[in-house]
């Protein structure tokens, strides 16, 4: 954990690995919290071997044994939620109240699969001409997970809980800027009483992922991250005929129809846009508003956006923390500036605060058109794009005019009408009069360049 001295004397790193440090940097002030020596290639191979060996026993364990381990993990998560939330606040700037909620959700997903997995994975009897036919589900082996920094615990437990209950084991390559979180997950799993090595963290950077995929003991890969990272992992895994699940970027469209409850719509849209300080694949990005109510909605939206508190992630009153890294904040700002150069109008925010900090203010762009980054690209931060549509038909067309297809929402007082519109939107999931969220009971994933495969639920 940050603050813990790393003992180096017992490790035999080659020169190239001695020079490779994973640094946890506080995004509030730019200070290095802790540096972690990466694992050498030999250490990575040994850890994979250990996990494969652990799988030989784990795959033979009963559902009751696995569920007991997951219930204990859920309990350990709840017992340590404040400490783990502080760790997230330090390493990637998540407001403390959001961090506690994230850990509670991780515990919930462990409980969910501990209870449901045996039913989900029971044999399916199929009536055929044979005396007996059935489909059974067997463990695949060791799964490599490549996970992002924005939800450093939830993203891991979202894959890990069903993975373990299915009899698989896993190794984690976490984002390089949250090494403390990655280590904390392994320690928590171990302290919860799971068998040694059923889950291990690999401290490597992205350049080391290919060699892990190439390891013959890795059976499949799951990745949550950028489109480019997904393409690289899919290409490497595909060349080796290893299965993949990819959850990539999103530019979620929220359609506000003429008969919508504008107070509800504006409140929900702001809350969705600012999930995790705007750094969420399923945060609302594009707000497509019918022309006749656009002015009123925009005023409400601006008032509610302005009321949100940006500040110290350790302060429970804070709604918006810093962006995870300065370079990510700078890239976001460049997208804003380019959109303004092409005709977008900034009616709130849009300026980088002074000092060595990764904060970026809540920002609203109007007059957004095709050809602008605010229309075409994913803006991974607290920047809202308001796009005007003449009518419902054009609103659906604009929503689908995207390379992404992760989530979407429709706001209307007519629920049946809203549901009909939702079915026309090209996205992995669509919500009505509510923000997009992942739920252990519902399948989660995207289409188009938002990825393929599903996590959560039976799927």
Average pLDDT over residues 66-85: 98
Rounded to an integer, what distance in angstroms lies between the CA atom of residue 97 and that of residue 105?
A: 13
- pLDDT at 189 (0 to 100): 97
Average pLDDT over residues 121-125: 97
- Coil/strand/helix, residue 13: coil
Are residues 201 and 115 in contact, defined by beta-carbon separation less than 8 angstroms? Answer: no
Closest to 198 in 3D by CA, of 263, 141, 113, 265: 141
Which residues lie closer than 8 Å to 363 by C-beta, 6 or more apart?
A: 336, 346, 348, 349, 350, 382, 383, 384
Rounded to an integer, what distance in angstroms lies between the CA atom of residue 338 and that of residue 353?
A: 19
Cβ burial of 351 (10 Å; 0-12, 13-18, 19+) is exposed
**From 19-33, 168-182, 295-309, 368-382, the region with the lowest mean pLDDT:** 19-33
Average pLDDT over residues 403-416: 98
Cβ burial of 162 (10 Å; 0-12, 13-18, 19+) is buried
Rounded to an integer, what distance in angstroms lies between the CA atom of residue 170 and that of residue 160?
A: 8
| pLDDT tens string 176-234 | 999 999 999 999 999 999 999 999 999 999 999 999 999 999 999 999 999 999 999 99
Average pLDDT over residues 342-349: 98
Average pLDDT over residues 18-30: 84
| pLDDT tens string 325-338 | 999 999 999 999 99
268 pLDDT above the threshold of 90 = yes
How does the average pLDDT of the chain come out, rounded? Answer: 95
- pLDDT at 20 (0 to 100): 75
18 pLDDT above the threshold of 50 = no
pTM of the model: 0.93
Q: At what angle do helices 63-79 and 154-165 cross, to 10 degrees?
A: 160
Closest to 246 in 3D by CA, of 268, 220, 270: 220
List the catalytic residues. 247, 281
- pLDDT at 6 (0 to 100): 42
- pLDDT at 19 (0 to 100): 44
| pLDDT tens string 350-365 | 999 998 899 999 999 9
Q: Residue 9: pLDDT band by 50, 70, 90 thresholds? A: very low
Q: What element of type H or E holds 97?
A: helix 96-120
Q: Residue 5: pLDDT band by 50, 70, 90 thresholds? A: very low
3 pLDDT above the threshold of 80 = no
Are residues 171 and 144 in contact, defined by beta-carbon separation less than 8 angstroms? Answer: yes
Are residues 373 and 338 in contact, defined by beta-carbon separation less than 8 angstroms? Answer: yes
Tell me what percent of the residues of the chain surpass a pLDDT of 90.
95
């Amino acid at each position: 954990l940050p603050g813990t001295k790393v003992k180096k004397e017992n490790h035999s790193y080659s020169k190239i690995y001695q020079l490779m440090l994973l640094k946890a940097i506080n995004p509030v002030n730019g200070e290095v919290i802790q540096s972690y020596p990466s694992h050498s290639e030999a250490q990575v191979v040994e850890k994979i071997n250990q996990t494969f060996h652990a799988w030989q026993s784990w795959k033979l364990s009963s559902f009751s044994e696995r569920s007991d381990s997951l219930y204990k993990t859920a309990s350990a998560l709840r017992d340590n939620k404040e400490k783990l939330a502080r760790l997230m606040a330090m390493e990637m700037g998540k407001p403390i109240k959001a961090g506690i909620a994230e850990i509670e959700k991780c515990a919930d997903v462990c409980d969910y699969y501990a209870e449901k997995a045996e039913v989900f994975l029971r044999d399916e009897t199929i009536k055929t001409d044979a005396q007996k036919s059935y489909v059974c589900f067997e463990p695949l082996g060791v799964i490599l997970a490549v996970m992002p920094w924005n939800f450093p615990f939830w993203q891991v437990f979202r894959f890990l809980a069903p993975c373990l209950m299915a009899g698989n084991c896993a190794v984690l390559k976490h984002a390089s800027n949250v090494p403390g979180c990655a280590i904390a997950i392994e320690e928590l799993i171990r302290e919860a009483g799971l068998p040694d090595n059923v889950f291990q963290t690999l401290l490597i950077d992205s350049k080391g992922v290919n060699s892990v995929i190439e390891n013959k003991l890795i059976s499949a890969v799951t990745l949550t991250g950028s489109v480019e990272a997904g393409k690289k992992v899919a290409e490497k895994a595909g060349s080796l005929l290893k299965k993949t699940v990819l959850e990539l970027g999103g530019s979620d469209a929220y359609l506000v129809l003429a008969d919508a409850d504008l107070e509800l719509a504006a409140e929900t849209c702001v809350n969705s846009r600012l999930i995790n300080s705007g750094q969420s694949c399923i945060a609302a990005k594009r707000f497509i508003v019918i022309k006749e109510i656009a002015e009123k909605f925009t005023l409400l939206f601006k008032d509610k956006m302005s009321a949100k508190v940006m500040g110290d992630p350790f302060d429970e009153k804070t709604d918006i923390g810093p962006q995870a890294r300065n370079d990510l904040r700078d890239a976001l700002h460049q997208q804003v500036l380019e959109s303004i150069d092409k005709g977008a109008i900034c009616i709130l925010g849009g300026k980088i605060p002074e000092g060595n900090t990764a904060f970026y203010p809540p920002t609203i762009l109007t007059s957004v058109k095709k050809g602008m980054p605010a229309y075409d690209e994913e803006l991974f931060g607290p920047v809202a794009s308001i796009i005007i549509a003449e009518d419902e038909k054009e609103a659906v067309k604009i929503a689908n005019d995207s390379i992404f297809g992760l989530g979407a929402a429709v706001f209307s007082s007519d629920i049946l009408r809203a549901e009909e519109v939702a079915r026309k939107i090209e996205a992995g999931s669509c919500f009505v009069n509510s923000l997009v969220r992942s739920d252990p009971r519902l399948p989660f994933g995207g289409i188009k360049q938002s990825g393929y495969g599903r996590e959560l639920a039976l799927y």
